[in-house]
Amino acid sequence: MNTVRTAQVLGYAGLIPFVVLALDPLVTNYFSAPLARLWLLAYGAVILSFLGGIMWGRCLTEPEAGVSMIVSILISLAGWGAVMLLGPEAFWLLAGGFVAALAWDMAADLPPWFRQLRIHLSIGAILAMVVGALT
């Protein structure tokens, strides 16, 4: 299985819950708005923590990776903190976490295809968090 193609398919498929849960209260109201917001918040926290794990894994082979490890943990902790907040500020915290994770990754030596994928997926996640905060 091709790694690039698999990452792209899984990554873009991972945007589906962001889009559905962010837009549901505004478009279909299939789920109750509080439930859709809670699920969006939880999903955002899980994905942000996943990004922290990617950062941690990338730096394991670096001899001087202390700062990278700290940043990866702070990114994951931001997701956990957002779940404890539960209000609009939780979505803003997640949006900020996604922005910070993207900025950190853009400064890293990443393959061009992964860099492009991270930009697209992060924009989707950030927009979903903004919608969550405003609805």
> Which CATH number do you get for residue 108?
1.20.120
User: Chain centroid to CA 86: how far?
Assistant: 16
Mean pLDDT estimate for the chain? 95
pLDDT at 60 over 90: no
Write down the pTM of the prediction: 0.94
**Residue 92: band (very low, low, confident or very high) from pLDDT cuts 50, 70, 90:** very high
Residue 9 belongs to a domain: no
**What is the Cα–Cα distance from 57 to 75, expressed in whole angstroms?**
14
For residue 82, tell me if it sits in a domain.
yes
Contact partners, residue 71, CB within 8 Å, separation at least 6: 55, 104
Domain span including residue 88: 14-134
Task: Quick: pLDDT tens for 2-40.
Answer: 999 999 999 999 999 999 999 999 999 899 999 999 999
Q: What is the average per-residue pLDDT within 127-135? A: 97
Q: Measured between alpha carbons, how far is 125 from 99 in angstroms, rounded to an integer?
A: 9
124 assigned to some structural domain: yes
pLDDT at 24: 96
